[in-house]
Each structure stands twice: as structure tokens, then as C-alpha cells.
Copies of this chain bind each other. A is one copy, B any other.
Amino acid sequence: MTGQRHDLGATFVRLGRAMVAAEQPVLDELGIEMWDYVVLVALRDGPVHTQARLAAATGRDTTRLIPILDRLEGRGLLYRTPDPADRRNRIVELTAEGAELVTAGQAAIRRMEARLLAGLPEDERAGFISTLERVADLIAGPRDRL
């Protein structure tokens, strides 16, 4: 019996899939898809001046990002304007409605996470989450900040 524990990769992938599934009903309630949410969260802290940077920060490539932006812009959750400094670039920014939605969405997802982890003792839970963030930086590199 070699494996007292499972491979980290298998465990992380499995956990990722389970969390995406758990987020689905929350996102359904908000009427947005997962990648919509990812983009909205990435934009929450301020406008971005090139879509390429936004694509890198969200792990999509630029071509896959475009339909997402089209949909969100059509719903009035964000808007794109040409950058006056270089009109090839587009400044992407949340509308007030978009900012409101991402705040409400993330709060709902945090509540869902808390429910899932309710079985863990409080101190173990806190320690796990803080180490998890460090491990993520260690293994996957620091996240692109916009």
C-alpha cells in the first residue's frame, strides 16, 4: 500500500471541480456564468487598460475573453472605452451595477464556503486557509494583480 495519501494534483483537481459545482447554484441565482464571475472579480479593484492583461489575470486568452466581455457589457455590468492615450487599447471598468453584483456574489460564495467547511474546528480551518494561500503562491506563483 504505497499511498497513505493521494497525489496533491489529484486532490486539488478534485477539490476544484467540487467547488465549481458548489458555486453553480449561487451563480445561477445571480444569472451569470462562472467565467463571468471570474472576470467581474478581477475587475473589482479597478479598471484595466488592456484586455490582454485582463485575459492573463483570469487565465483566459484574449479570444475567449471577448464573448464574455460582450455579454457582460450587454447586461450593463461593465463597459469598454478606447484608451485616450492609445486608442488601440480598451479600458474595461465595472458599472455600479456590476460592482454591486460582484460584491453580493462573493458574499454568497463565502457563505457557501463556510457551510462546506463547518465540519472543521475553527482554528484548523483558519490555519488551513492561510497555509493554502501560501502554498498557492509557492506552487503556482504569485497571482497577476491588475
Contact = CB atoms under 8 A, between A and B. Distances in A.
A140 interface: yes
A128 B129 contact: no
Interface of A: 1-3, 5-20, 22-23, 38, 41, 44-45, 59, 103, 106-107, 109-110, 113, 116-117, 119-120, 124, 127-129, 131-136, 138-141, 143
Determine how many copies of this chain the complex contains.
2
A129 to B, nearest CB: 6
The binding surface of chain A is classed by DSSP as helix
Nearest to A7: B109
A19 B14 contact: no
A103 B15 contact: no
